[in-house]
Each structure stands twice: as C-alpha cells, then as structure tokens.
Structure 1
Amino acid sequence: MPNAKTGTHRPLPEPAARSLATALRSRREAAGLTQEDLASTAQISVQAVRRIEAATANPTLGTLYAVATALDVSWTELILEVGD
C-alpha cells in the first residue's frame, strides 16, 4: 500500500508502462498533437509527456486523467486499453 506520508506509490509493471506509452503516443499522434501541445493542454511538463511515452515515468492517476482529458478520451478507457 502506498505511504501517504511520503507520497510514494508502486511503479507500473514494465509491460503495463510500455503499453501505456504506446497507447498515449498512438492517441497523441492520431490527434495530430506534438508532445508540447499535449503537455500544454494537459497542464503538465513536456518532460512528463516524454517520460510517459518512453515508459520511464510512473504517472499518478491525476496525471493520467489530465492527459486523457487533453486527448479527449476518458481515463478509464485509456486504462482499459493498457490492460489489453
């Protein structure tokens, strides 16, 4: 269980992180957005987008929600896509 005092949480397993990276990149490109466009719309850093797409980030649900909203998709749909 995550430690509420330190804010640490479990990282995504590597296959899930890669799947999330692929899904986000694919959706971003299909929407005709650059990483900079997505970051600006989602109000996160470009570095965060790059790290998620490189499968090196461990995004919070809040970040996933912001990115999904910027891509005009529900965050639950995005999570289900990663689970495929």
Structure 2
Amino acid sequence: MERPKIRLTLIDRKGPCGCHRGHRVGDTFDFDTERGRLCPMAMHVAFPYIDILRYGGAIPGQPEGTAVFRCPDVDVINVFKIEKIEP
C-alpha cells in the first residue's frame, strides 16, 4: 500500500521580519523530495502533524487531511498548511 504524499505550503507571514531561510508566501514543498529545502525550525514543528496525517489521524479543528501551523521564529511567524494527498 502506497502512503499518501504530503505537501507543505507557506500561506501567510505575520511577523515583522522576512524569513531568514528566504521562504515566501506561496512557496510549496513536497515532504518526501524537498524537505531539505524547508527551514529546520519549521520542519521541527511540522513533523508531528505530518506523521499524524500520513498515518490516518486527524488534527482537531482542522479540515480532514490538513493542518495549519506556524514557524517558531517570533520575528518571522510564517504560517504553513500541510495537505495529505492520497495516491
């Protein structure tokens, strides 16, 4: 059985500074092939959500197959959306 793909998209920025990694609103990343391009601080926050979604769980209060989270850098506060894409 093939596991679902995971796509991460930067959907908003709330902090006063630009991203130190150079990410911009609209950037999209395939978790399996491009995770090394994603900021390590954001990836640290994203991974538990990715694991939950990929293996059949759901995030309370989020539409099915999705999760929204933010990076932990208080100066940047990038907001990302994770989407599970069924094969």
**Structures share fold, TM-score greater than 0.5:** no
Between 1 and 2, higher relative CO (CA 8 Å, sep ≥ 6) is seen in 2
Q: Decide which structure has greater helix share.
A: 1
Q: TM-score, normalised by structure 2?
A: 0.30
